[in-house]
Chains A and B, each alone.
Chain A
């Protein structure tokens, strides 16, 4: 039986496009258009897609930085929009933390590492300064830094070290879910594995759930238990990482994989076929009719431009939204 920590049900986020003096709404940018997913306790869900696919908007909705147009987010089975402000502050915020993409801008340049990591504790708990400090040192040690680093400012660290600080900050409150928005994409390739391994170790140790957002398939494959492939605000394929990477069904997923040189020895025979997508992702302001991918799909049939493909189960929890599968 799966133990769901956070569930998104039919999430939609439309941004109004206004025009003229009276700010008339002339259209909607459908950044996220009917996305559903589940993050299981202690496991990782990877969200993959091109820029503009709606990954970050989804993450922002979960982190309460954006208000959804419609849809529900359920945290341990309870609807977030039924929470009162004070419940959000005490029962949700501290338990859902995040690590951002850019370790150079995600820290206040005027604060010492000690204060950066202690900030969640100061804001959310009534612990004494001394308790906070010992917790900070404990956290720094866990992410592979030492107490000497506590007195320094963020600009005195390398990207990888800064991302470790960001991880320490995210863990300060013992969260249940950590949203990792492109956690390693700003780092040198040589540092990425270190940070990913650190995150995996911490996940095991604290039974953390992760929502990993990435456009790098290798990152997602390494980190994730489940993977959702997003295109133009919708999920086109969903499944367990190994299954999905071994047997990609949606033409978009296959194109992504052929483009990313993911080929491992055991994937023999796959990835030889090169699918090159033409054109750019259509505007979410005016998405194509039917299957949103049909304008760029190499296998599009006439019906693809008319029928909207539902996300349907093809066995073993593997879901795909394509009429041709």
Chain B
């Protein structure tokens, strides 16, 4: 009797410990991956073995070093016109990561602003802003982005604007819900009793208290932005050549996928890593913040 109880306790203790280790790993691994990628992007000129758009026609379509016929001169092989894949993946990180960062900053700011205004003021303002949000959510984002890119012509800023154009809507919805909940909070009523203006209430009392869901939403959308950029590039409306982005690299390799698979694979792996890391970090944050969310 007693022995089994001890064993049970050990089991329980082990389960808790295992859970804690897993929880720690879901934080350390993705943040390490993202950290390394960001450092790589920043120090790209020092790390890349070749300039990203240096053409070497003699070395074209060289397979990666670990495959037969590959050479250590080009660790990850070369593309159709002999550009070094490793260098292009490293430089591509600059574009892909900075695009996501910019898009997230823009969409999160617009979405948060509109969401707080909508949720706190309510009434007609809310009805109007939420219909606009619904319309934005109803449009197929990629189509609008394509249209936008077609009008302005493909460029770095077109990509950023095209993805931001509709990307704010999910933020607005989420934040509005939070603001709606906080509007009824006692401390907001107290702020009104004190005489705080609606603007100050929104900035000082509502905004700091929606930080948790906002951070989680932002981390989760890293993947979405990189994938949208890749899709746009794949469709030819993304970052224009010769600049390397992970998206347009995958797109470049699509015709040669059965012979020169390495052209698409390595940028694809990079995209996958960032998306996964973003999602894991977001999940981790959500789990961490949950009890505090309920506490408020």
Contacts and interface: CB of A to CB of B under 8 A. Distances in A.
A96, A102, A123 pick with most chain B CB within 10 angstroms = A123
Given A93-B195, A120-B194, A120-B195, A109 B209 contact: yes
Contacts of A64: 192-193
A100 B197 contact: no
B189 A100 contact: yes
Contacts, number: 59
Nearest to A90: B195
A89 B195 contact: yes
A185 interface: no
A278 interface: no
Nearest to B207: A110
B189 A97 contact: no
Nearest to A121: B194
A108 interface: yes
Contacts of B265: none
B190 A98 contact: yes
Nearest to B211: A110
B187 A97 contact: no
B205 A108 contact: yes
B187 to A, nearest CB: 5
B71 interface: no
A237 B211 CA distance: 49
Given A100-B186, A100-B189, A109 B296 contact: yes
B208 interface: yes
Contacts of B295: 109, 155
Given A120-B195, A123-B194, A105 B209 contact: no
What is the interface residue range for chain A against chain B? 20 to 34
Contacts of A108: 187, 191, 204-205, 208-209
A119 interface: yes
Contact of B200 (A63, A65, A123): A123
B205 A97 contact: no
A105 B196 contact: no
A97 B194 contact: yes
B196 A123 contact: yes
Nearest to A99: B190
A65 B191 CA distance: 11
A248 interface: no
Interface in A30-72: 63-65
B73 interface: no
Contacts of A120: 194-195
A124 B189 CA distance: 16
Nearest to B209: A110
A98 B193 contact: yes
A102 B186 contact: yes
Interface string A75-106: 00000000000000100011011101010011
A107 interface: yes
A93 B192 CA distance: 9
B127 interface: no
Interface string B116-132: 00000000000000000
B257 interface: no
B272 to A, nearest CB: 36
Interface string B256-283: 0000000000000000000000000000
Given A94-B195, A123-B195, A124-B195, A106 B190 contact: yes
Contacts of B186: 100, 102, 105-106
A162 to B, nearest CB: 11
Nearest to B205: A108
Interface in B202-227: 204-205, 208-209, 211
B259 to A, nearest CB: 57
B202 to A, nearest CB: 13
B187, B196, B205, B209 pick with most chain A CB within 10 angstroms = B187
Contacts of A119: 191, 194, 196, 204
B105 interface: no
B56 interface: no
B185 interface: yes
Interface string B159-187: 00000000000000000000000000111
B197 A123 contact: yes
B195 to A, nearest CB: 4
A301 to B, nearest CB: 43
A106 B186 CA distance: 5
A10 to B, nearest CB: 24
Interface in A139-169: 155, 169
A25 B186 CA distance: 29
Given A105-B187, A119-B194, A123-B197, 12 more contacts: A63-B193, A64-B192, A64-B193, A89-B195, A98-B190, A102-B186, A109-B209, A109-B295, A109-B296, A110-B208, A110-B209, A111-B204
Interface of B: 185-187, 189-197, 200, 204-205, 208-209, 211, 295-296
23 contacts: A65-B189, A65-B193, A89-B195, A93-B193, A93-B194, A98-B190, A98-B193, A100-B189, A100-B190, A102-B186, A106-B186, A108-B187, A109-B187, A110-B208, A110-B209, A111-B204, A111-B208, A119-B191, A119-B194, A119-B204, A120-B195, A123-B194, A123-B196
Q: Can you list the 10 inter-chain pairs with the closest CB atoms, starting with the nearest?
A: A110-B208, A105-B186, A93-B195, A106-B186, A120-B194, A108-B187, A123-B196, A63-B193, A98-B193, A106-B190
